[in-house]
Amino acid sequence: MNFNDTAEEATFRQEVKDFLDKELPDRFKGTMDRMAGGGGGDMRSRFEEMKGWRKKLADKGWIAAAWPKEYGGAGLGTMEQFIMNEEFAENRAPQVGGMGVSMIGPTLIIHGDDEQKEEHLSRILSGEVQWCQGFSEPESGSDLASLQTKAIRDGDDFVINGSKIWTSGAQYAHWMFMMARTDPDAPKHKGISYFMLDMKSPGVTVRPLVNMAGNSMFNEVFFDNVRVPAKNLVGEENRGWYIGTTTLDFERSSIGSAVGQRLQVDNLINFAREHKDDHKSVLGRHETLHYELADRLLETQVARMLSYRVVTMQNKGLVPNYEASMCKLFSSEMSQRIARTSMKVAGLYGQLLSGTNWAPAKGRYGASYIQTVASTIAGGTSEVQRGIIATRGLGLPKN
């Protein structure tokens, strides 16, 4: 593998660096790192803060840089998009767009009709509309195809009844992209349709779920005879499972986390050097931490190599499958190892969260330790990822 940029890629990388040096507001520097470390904060106020930064990105077409230019993107190729993600991560610069840009937008570009694209894509780019994902259900998490939320055709509408759970940001979202069962007699992977739902529709109830860190990132969403216009059906009725897998491919192929995790470890090493324990640095008092921190740092480089493999495949027009699962599995389990090491470095006071002067690193390590419990569940459990790697990567039998 050639790790060097081509001349064109090097020119683009420098363009991104120059843009960030000139345009990235000081107050946003380190934003990504704080969020990755478990920092809370109100999402709605964060959206407001981002408006000026969003405009600068929009002027260059960099909110959805890989989207075609006719839809408001910059038409960047796979490698240019990767370089941009890498440099944003290295500079700890926040990206905007959320699930609208990363998931439903690309899905609509592939599967949506002209009316749906015209109605939704521009509002995703402007930040006018925030989206959430309605896939998981109380009894259908890892086995998503067993979902039971029903959508029954009634004239020009579908009437939806059921519930979703672990819905990130649903309390702030304007719209949801979701899957519901439209043919209960079909095999479970069939008879599912893909919808866009206005969260202000009568019969939608959102109930935030408070996690162990005291934040409400996730929600339960209930549907009681919610009417969804048939025009909000994406693709063909009863073919939603295959559209949903397109959305998940966009989610699992993201390649920006390895740099962010390396920056977390860099910060942790600096903390261990500088933080005093009985007038001696933590790193100086606990020799075994040298080896553990070295392991974490090496693992972030492994994660980066896995990401390089995915982007190399994408650049060749291939679709990463088990390779993307390898990235997801390694990255999510590594985040838990980084969190455990952070707690060792922080000591007993690391259990404290923000709100007290006694909490090391403003409570970031304690919050990260708690929140990464869910890392191996969200986006597909470790068991699911290992199953994909075993069957599709190693060719092992399913039973």
Whether residues 357 and 380 fall in one domain: yes
Domain limit, last residue, from 186, 205, 239 = 239
Whether residues 196 and 277 fall in one domain: no
Q: Is residue 116 in a domain?
A: no
Q: Is residue 244 in a domain?
A: no
Q: Which domain holds residue 292?
A: 253-393
Say how many domains are in the chain.
3
Report how far residue 195's alpha carbon sits from residue 237's, in angstroms, rounded to the nearest whole number.
10
Whether residues 185 and 285 fall in one domain: no
Whether residues 202 and 261 fall in one domain: no
Backbone angles phi, psi at 161, to 5 degrees: -135, 140
Q: Dihedral of the CA atoms 55, 58, 62, 65 (nearest 10)?
A: 150
Question: Which residue among the candidates 220, 251, 292, 333 is catalytic per the annotation?
Answer: 251
Question: Residue 383 catalytic?
Answer: no
**Mean local confidence (pLDDT), 156-168:** 96
Q: Is residue 196 in a domain?
A: yes
Other residues' Cβ atoms within 10 Å of the Cβ of residue 291: 9
Range in 226-240, 285-299, 342-356 with the lowest mean pLDDT: 342-356
246-266 pLDDT per residue, tens: 777 665 545 567 888 999 999
Q: Is residue 110 in a domain?
A: no
Whether residues 234 and 257 fall in one domain: no
pTM across the whole model: 0.82
200-229 pLDDT per residue, tens: 999 999 999 988 777 888 899 999 999 999
Whether residues 274 and 214 fall in one domain: no
